[in-house]
Homo-oligomer: A and B are copies of this chain.
Amino acid sequence: MDLHGYFRSSASYRVRIALNLKGLEYQYHPVNLLKGEQRGEAYRALNPQGLVPALINDDGKTLTQSLAILEWLDETHPQVPLLPADPSERARIRALAYNVACDIQPIQNLRVLKYIQTELGASDEQKVEWIRHWINGGFDALEMQLAADFDGPFAAGSAPGLFECCLIPQIYNAQRFGVDIARYPTIEHIADACAAMPAFEDARPENQPDSTL
């Protein structure tokens, strides 16, 4: 399989974790978002939406949207499942993942940050305040939901999955902008358990070939 992504993109990072958790080999093709390569003709031919990541599967089909790729991986490569078997539990884990993927991440996406600065005149300080505001609000709610019935070490119990694929890139982003994760003990507990696993370590932005860190 071929993964087109960017070392710092949260959505690319999610897919790298999932591929690693399932032990699937893939070829990594960097798309430089700062240079605008995602809007170039070559990449638009793969993904007209001009967003990373895109996964080209073994049938040559292009899959887009990180969460759709994660669900596809789980349906076609069920070993090391990303979701529990019970429907209510699946719904709980998906809801946690969507809390991150729908309610936190999109609002502090690069293109949104650019817009508030260029069109709404936000200062660098207001930009950082914006990022922290949405992450803190989201993590407050997430912590409450997680803490309510947490056995650990992961949200679904003994193994990480869909939620952790979304959480860890969001924490990476949060820390870049000075959000204090220690305010969220359950989130921090899960993050520590993930950090000890090679699947998460190998997927980190600084361990990608296009990293500038």
| A-side interface size class | 35 or more
Give a binary string over A81-109; 1 marks a CB under 8 Å from any B CB, 0 the rest: 00000011011101100110111011100
Please provide the chain A residues from 29 to 88 with a CB less than 8 Å away from any CB of chain B in the complex.
48-51, 57, 59, 61, 63-65, 67-69, 71-72, 75-76, 87-88
A116 at the interface (CB under 8 A from B): yes
Give chain B residues whose Cβ lies under 8 Å from the Cβ of A193.
none
Query: Of B65, B101, B116, which contacts A94 at CB under 8 A?
Result: B65
A141 to B49, CA, bound (A): 5
Query: Of B51, B75, B90, B105, which contacts A75 at CB under 8 A?
Result: B90
Task: State which of A118-126, A169-177, A203-211 sits at the interface with chain B.
Answer: A118-126
A112 to B134, CA, bound (A): 9
Q: Is B103 touching A115 in the complex (CB atoms < 8 A)?
A: no
Q: Is A94 touching B67 in the complex (CB atoms < 8 A)?
A: yes
Minimum CB–CB distance from A97 to chain B (whole Å) comes to: 8
Q: Is B103 touching A91 in the complex (CB atoms < 8 A)?
A: no
| Given A107-B107, A112-B107, also A69-B49 (CB < 8 A) | no
Tell me the nearest residue of chain B to A88, going by C-beta.
B61
Number of copies: 2
A133 at the interface (CB under 8 A from B): yes
A51 to B142, CA, bound (A): 12
Give chain B residues whose Cβ lies under 8 Å from the Cβ of A71.
90-91, 94
Q: Is B106 touching A91 in the complex (CB atoms < 8 A)?
A: no
| Given A48-B145, A107-B106, A116-B120, also A63-B95 (CB < 8 A) | yes
A144 at the interface (CB under 8 A from B): yes
List, sorted by A's number, 22 A–B pairs whose CB atoms are closer than 8 Å.
Answer: A49-B103, A49-B142, A51-B103, A61-B88, A63-B92, A64-B95, A65-B95, A65-B98, A67-B98, A68-B91, A68-B98, A72-B87, A72-B88, A72-B94, A101-B102, A102-B106, A103-B106, A106-B106, A107-B107, A115-B133, A119-B133, A121-B121
